[in-house]
Amino acid sequence: MTTQDMTVISADGRHAAPDTVLELRHLIDGAWVPSTSGETFDRHAPATGELLSRACKGGAEDTNAAIAAARQAFDDRRWSDLPGSARAKLLTKVADLIDANRARIALYETLESGKPISQAEAEIQGAADIWRYAATLAWNIRGDSQNALGADMLGMVLKEPIGVVSIIAPWNFPFLIVSQKLPIAFAAGCTAVIKPSEMTSATTVILGELLLEAGIPAGVVNIVLGYGDPVGSLMTTHPDVDMVSFTGSTAVGKAIVAATSNTLKKVSLELGGKNPQVIFADADLDQAADAIVFGVYFNAGECCNSGSRIIVQEDVADALNEKVVALSRKVPFGDPLNPKTKVGAIISPEHQAKIDGYVQDAALAGAKVLLGGDALGVAGLSGQFYQPTVIADVSADMAIAREEVFGPVLSVLTFQTFEEAVTLANDAAYGLSAGVWSENVHTCLAFARQVQAGTVWTNTWMDGYPELPFGGVKESGLGRELGPNGIEEFLETKTVQMRIGKTRQMWV
């Protein structure tokens, strides 16, 4: 297949890119500081190869200093003792600042990650909404009471902030995912140390600037730039850290659980997914095909919620494949800075090679590549892009059906009966999300009850709301983000038992 068979957006008509290299420093105890070692590292744009930013490379001393600042800020209660209404006011101010700086944040998000500028702008707007929702949670932290313990006893259940939280964020949604964690932790009264991905550090630094402008007390938020070793490693093992909140690969998540075992920290993990969409013969195939194309190509498939595994009833498999391939040809792939683009660049050459390896292995194993299956050339750009790819005749034992490809690659499996569909959907180590397509509400409800997933969509895909919890089962993670459940992750429960009136003799 040639690139003439699909919609490719060239570098013409793009937004202007900055003509200077962005210098990034750590935020520690309210000040922007260089690394103790003086070392830095560079980030180049995945779409063009151009130098974008030069960041301070954090080491053990920098990480320890950030954790000490967060510890002191929590222990002296400069943040947690504020009324929830005061914390809510600051969170709302941050949301307003995010809105005011949306264009700048989205530009650097696009340049560093390769995602389309229009998608980045929508994500920044969604992030601001989460900060506003977190403000409502700060108003409404409440415990419980027990007044049936007898005439002279009263029991209270308090909800208190867990303490210092290490937040380790990924490269695929750097601003949005930090905003799914940090404002909720702040609403609870926690302090934080953040490590953004070394590939997408800029927007987290911009967020730090906005937090200082909003008036966050020194030490309540700290940002350390750098790599998993030593920064991320110290953030998961340091005894002054009370909780780790991580989004990323399942392999790293398992390593974090092992690393935190010596101190028994609380761990919240949002990990990988191999998310099935099951399409029954009575489904609206046009709507399903549209959602499938969105689900697999959104963010170039570099998304834990990617709908990369389609399980379709045999009677309609050929018809659905035809619709999906036809729509895939129309999706605008190419220059991330062009507002018309819907699918941008792949994050790195190494990741592009990994994606292609899954595709080639599937073809060698007997799967049929209906569309794509190779790198994509984009006029005027020298970065890495991958063609929209649809692979049929996939069997459940193939790696492409079981492992997270994290690219614009759709695997299509087939089934005959409802029971077979559920078995195939659950036949994976992951359990992040799932979808079902049927005009029969009983079919949808039965599937939703039986599928092993933290989120189930019926006749839609990847809708999301701050009010609803998000997270997975099995190897897709631990805990929940967002919704009222999300703030519970950052709270400890304390029981207080009070004797009222004269104290009775306890022993003799």
Q: Which secondary structure element, helix H or strand E, spans residue 192, and what is its range?
A: strand 191-195
Bridge partners (DSSP) listed for residue 195: 168
Residue with tokens 């309540």: 220
Active site residue 270: yes
The pair of three-digit structure tokens given for residue 480, joined into one six-digit string: 């929940």
Q: Identify whether 230 is preceded by a cis peptide bond (ω within 30 of 0).
A: yes
Strand ranges in 45-190 using DSSP code E only, listed in sequence order: 51-56, 144-146, 153-161, 164-168
- How far is it, in rounded angstroms, from Cα 148 to Cα 172? 51
Q: Which secondary structure element, helix H or strand E, spans residue 368, and what is its range?
A: strand 368-371
Active site residue 304: yes
Helix (H, G, I), strand (E, B) or coil at 430: strand
- How far is it, in rounded angstroms, from Cα 378 to Cα 357? 21
Distances (CA, A) of 120 to 144, 161, 207: 41, 32, 15
**Are the C-beta atoms of 295 and 328 separated by less than 8 Å?**
no
Q: Which secondary structure element, helix H or strand E, spans residue 28, and what is its range?
A: strand 26-28
The pair of three-digit structure tokens given for residue 467, joined into one six-digit string: 């009010």
CB-side neighbour CA atoms (13 Å) of 176 = 21
Helix (H, G, I), strand (E, B) or coil at 240: coil
Distances (CA, A) of 412 to 161, 396, 491: 45, 10, 42
The pair of three-digit structure tokens given for residue 141, joined into one six-digit string: 């932290």
- How far is it, in rounded angstroms, from Cα 468 to Cα 130? 11
Phi, psi values for residue 130, rounded to 5°:
-65, -40
**Annotated catalytic residue, options 123, 198, 270, 475:** 270
Phi, psi values for residue 355, rounded to 5°:
-60, -50
- How far is it, in rounded angstroms, from Cα 242 to Cα 356? 40
206 DSSP assignment: H
**Cα-Cα-Cα-Cα dihedral of 447, 449, 452, 453, to 10°?**
90
**Annotated catalytic residue, options 56, 303, 304, 444:** 304
What strand order describes the sheet that includes 144-146? 144-146, 153-161, 491-499
Helix (H, G, I), strand (E, B) or coil at 15: coil
The pair of three-digit structure tokens given for residue 453, joined into one six-digit string: 């997933």
Give the pairing of strands 433-437 and 455-458.
parallel
The pair of three-digit structure tokens given for residue 225, joined into one six-digit string: 């730039």
Report the Cα 212 to chain-centroid distance in Å.
Answer: 24
Known catalytic residues are 270, 304
